[in-house]
Amino acid sequence: MNTTAYADGLFFLQEHFVEVMHNQEFVAMPADEVAKLLANDNLNVMNEEMVFHALVLWAKHDMASRKKHLAKLLVHIKLPLLSPQVWWHSCCLSLSY
């Protein structure tokens, strides 16, 4: 793998995470790649709610097959930084299955 191309791609993902999370390529990513992205502390986001929202978008794209990955992926979300309202709304309403 070309390390320069990888570094450039990673930098793009970090800087443009909000746009990337709304792309079809993001919701098609395998769980291990989503985990690497969510674990990245250099994501250019206004707050942790954006990272959590990205996880919700990814999970809802195919909840039936992805719910088994949620516990592993949630460890990468800084839950204390989320407001209780965001947590309640996303978990209890949006992720219901």
Q: The tokens of 55 are what?
A: 């996880």
Of 21, 25, 31, give the one whose Cα is nearest residue 68.
Answer: 31
Domain segments of the chain as ranges: 3-94
Q: Could you tell me which CATH number the domain at 3-94 has?
A: 1.25.40.420
The predicted-structure confidence for 46-94, as pLDDT tens digits, reads as follows 999 999 999 999 999 999 999 999 999 999 999 889 888 887 776 665 5
Confidence of residue 97 (pLDDT cuts 50, 70, 90): very low
Q: Is 29 exposed, middle or buried (0-12, 13-18, 19+ CB in 10 A)?
A: middle
Would you state the pLDDT for residue 44? 96
Give the global pTM: 0.84
